[in-house]
Structure 1
C-alpha cells in the first residue's frame, strides 16, 4: 500500500482539489473491484473507513472518471457505486505509472526483484481472489 501511495501521480489541479487521501482511494477502489454495485455504507462497513471518508473518496473517484453511481432500484434514496465501464484519462495515467521512483535508490537488480515479488503477490492477493481465513 505504501509503495502504491508513493507512486501515485498527483491529479491535475493537485490532491487538495479532490479531497480524500490516496490511501482511502486505493482502499475504496480495491473494495469496488470485488463488490460492484455497493452502497457507501456497505463499503464503509467492509473497509473500516468512516461513511464520510467513503463518500468523499467516491466523489473523488467519480470526478476522476473511475467510478459511476446509480440509484438503487430497491431503494431510490441510496446510490450504488461501481467501477466505470470505460477507462478515464486519470485511471489510464495511474495504471501506466511505475513504482520505480517510489522504490528510491534501488539498483536495477533490486527493482526487478521487488517487481517480481509484487507480481507474485498480486496474483495471490488479487481483489478477485477469495480471502482465506487464517488458521
Structure 2
C-alpha cells in the first residue's frame, strides 16, 4: 500500500462512518460532510477538556465558525457542556458532558454492520466479521486518544 492508496482508503472509511451514523433528530436528513467536523471537535474536546472554541480551532485547524457550530450541535446532543471562563467571562470553555444523553448513547450504540455491508456489497457474516475485526484492531492501534468516545 502506498500513501495515495491509504489516503483513498481513509476517504472510503469516512464515508462508511458517515453512513453508519444514525439519522439526526427531527427528520432533518443526513449531516453530510459536517459530521466529520463534529467528530473532530468531539475527539478534541475529549482529549482537551475546558478548552475555548479558539483553542479547539487552533488544534484542529478548523475555522472558528465551524468549531462553534459543531460545539452547538454537540451541546444540543448532550455530548458536551460549556461553562464561562472565570479568567475571561467573554469566553466559554467546552468539556465532555459528565453523563451520556440519549442521543449520544444512540450514536455510540450504532454499529457499522449495515453501512459496511453496503460498501462491500456483501452480507456474508464471516467476511463482515473479519473486516470489522481488522478495523477494530486499527482503531486500537491508531486512535488511542478516542478511547473515551467509545466508552
Q: Structure 2 length normalisation: TM-score?
A: 0.77
Aligned 8 A contact 1:20 1:57 in 2 = no
Structure 2 spans left out of the alignment, 5+ residues: 1-13
| Residues 13 and 20 of structure 1, relative CA distance in 2, 3 Å threshold | farther
**Match of residue 100 from structure 2:** 87
**Match of residue 54 from structure 2:** 41
Structure 1 spans left out of the alignment, 5+ residues: 130-135
1:15 CA drift (Å): 4.2
Instruction: Give the number of aligned pairs.
Output: 128
**Match of residue 133 from structure 1:** none
**Match of residue 126 from structure 1:** 144
Distance across 2 between alignment mates of 1:114 and 1:29 = 26
Name the Cα RMSD after superposition.
2.1
**Match of residue 59 from structure 1:** 72
Greater strand proportion: 1
1:3 CA drift (Å): 2.5
Q: Deviations over 1:37-75 (max 9, x none)?
A: 111111111111110000001001101111000011221
After alignment, is 113-122 or 21-30 more displaced?
113-122
Distance across 1 between alignment mates of 2:104 and 2:38 = 12
The answer on 1:29 being equivalent to 2:46 is: no
Distance across 2 between alignment mates of 1:49 and 1:78 = 18
Distance across 2 between alignment mates of 1:121 and 1:38 = 28
1:117 CA drift (Å): 1.4
Aligned 8 A contact 1:62 1:68 in 2 = yes
Distance across 2 between alignment mates of 1:74 and 1:128 = 29
Runs of 4+ in 1 over 4 A off after TM superposition: none
Aligned 8 A contact 1:20 1:53 in 2 = no
